[in-house]
Structure 1
Amino acid sequence: MFRLALVIDEKPHTRMFKVNNYSQSGFTLVELSVVLAISAIILAFAIPGTANLMNHSGRHTALADLISTLNLARNTAINEQTTVTLCAIGNDSKCANDWSFPIVAFRDPSRTKQITDDSQIVRILHSVETGRLVVRSGIHNYFRFQSSGWSRGTLGHFIWCPDSDDNQYAAQVRINMGGRPQMARDYDGDGVVEDASGDPITCEGV
């Protein structure tokens, strides 16, 4: 803040102007403590909110890609009147028992569970960016869609778990006999979706 002060000199017909400067003082220790306390409170609320947002975003992206791939595999089988297989493809281009390999939906009219030509590929399921996708395909290492769209004999499900293993964000997609993907729901209102047996989905140990 600046203020002009008029000073009259003793000499006749002479005037001098003096500038008085006022500088703002810094934060006191009390003020600084208050600012730090408020910042800590804001940070305490912001961190869980960010984690929740990441869980929701990761879940949405993973499930959207999975369901889209399953629907495309089924529709391709119906529209082209062929058999479509979905499995993890190993280095030998055959269905592998390890679902950490790339998951691929491909035309498999001879039911060999093997890709011999790139034209067979319907879609490659992208790896999840956050969390992990767990596959349960029963006694088989694949899912198969018949020309009717049915997946008879290859029932199973997919579970998505967040990196935090918080069951409230876990999701399950089941494939029914008709070959349609179904999202597991929370019927008892405890915040965790249930599997086909009515038990809550758990990420621990999967």
Structure 2
Amino acid sequence: MNETQDIITRKYQLNIYSKCGFTLVELAIVLALSSIILAFAIPGTANLINHSGRHAALADLIATLNLARNTAINEQTTVTLCAIGNDSKCANDWSFPIVAFRDPTRSRQITNDTQIVRVMHSVEAGRLVVRSGIHNYFRFQSSGWSRGTLGHFIWCPDSDDDRHAAQVRINMGGRPQVARDYDGDGVVEDASGDPITCEGI
């Protein structure tokens, strides 16, 4: 009787195990569906990363520019924004930390930490390219104006996809302006109406 029960128990267990498995056809279907889902998910993830990096870079940049301008107006002083080199002076290399600081003597140099208004964070994704004309700095006067030191910032994603590029311009009044896509081609335009490109910058 015990042997009969053992045989029945083994058959029952084998029957359960056989029902828990996948057939080759089922496995192939699951793999095919997974591949399709991943094909749609990966570009979406890349777009999300680009959007997140762009948003973070622009938010920090605009906050820094607005604070620099408002400080110049509220304190009736001159505020300079530039990349600060190891000698605490404005550098030509914008890969150095970008700092907005009180600069009443217009020396373009930090001699005391109390001058510092804000330090921009390094961009975590993509790269920030600065175009400041013949100057290596931007200057906000006590009126808030930035006359004489006009320029712009371009943010490009790591993929160099122009559709995700952004530009922030500083107008004569010292206000930051975010470039927009006026012709609807998916790429923002510069002040001349030309599309922003990340190629070669």
TM-score between both structures, scaled by the size of structure 1: 0.90
Aligned match of 1:93 in 84, 88, 94?
88
Q: Are residues 1:186 and 2:177 paired? A: no
Aligned to 1:12: none
Aligned to 1:128: 123
Aligned to 2:103: 108
Q: Are residues 1:203 and 2:191 paired? A: no
> Equivalents in 2 of 1:174, 1:64: separation in Å?
14
Gaps of 5+ in 1: 1-6, 8-15
Aligned to 2:50: 55
> Equivalents in 2 of 1:190, 1:44: separation in Å?
25
Q: Give, in angstroms, the shift of residue 24 of structure 1.
A: 3.8
SS of equivalent to 2:186: coil
Gaps of 5+ in 2: none
Q: Give, in angstroms, the shift of residue 27 of structure 1.
A: 1.6
> Equivalents in 2 of 1:104, 1:28: separation in Å?
63
Q: Are residues 1:23 and 2:16 paired? A: yes
Aligned match of 1:77 in 72, 75, 78?
72
SS of equivalent to 1:119: helix
Q: Give, in angstroms, the shift of residue 29 of structure 1.
A: 1.4
Structure exhibiting the larger radius of gyration computed from Cα positions: 1
Aligned match of 1:177 in 172, 179, 195?
172
Q: 1 or 2, which has the higher helix percentage?
A: 2
The Cα offsets for residues 98-152 of structure 1, whole Å up to 9 and x where unpaired, read as 0000000000000000000000000000000100000000000000000000000
Q: What percent identity do the matched residue pairs reach? A: 84
> Equivalents in 2 of 1:36, 1:185: separation in Å?
42
> Equivalents in 2 of 1:45, 1:189: separation in Å?
24
> Equivalents in 2 of 1:182, 1:42: separation in Å?
39
4+ residue runs of structure 1 moved beyond 4 angstroms?
A: 16-20
Q: Give, in angstroms, the shift of residue 36 of structure 1.
A: 0.8
> Equivalents in 2 of 1:30, 1:87: separation in Å?
63
The Cα offsets for residues 60-91 of structure 1, whole Å up to 9 and x where unpaired, read as 01000000000000000000000000000000
One-letter amino acid of the counterpart of residue 89, structure 2: K
Q: 1 or 2, which has the higher strand percentage?
A: 1
> Equivalents in 2 of 1:149, 1:47: separation in Å?
45
> Equivalents in 1 of 2:59, 2:23: separation in Å?
53
SS of equivalent to 2:16: coil
Aligned to 2:41: 46
Q: Are residues 1:160 and 2:155 paired? A: yes
The alignment's C-alpha RMSD in Å is: 1.4
TM-score between both structures, scaled by the size of structure 2: 0.92
SS of equivalent to 1:144: strand
SS of equivalent to 2:155: strand
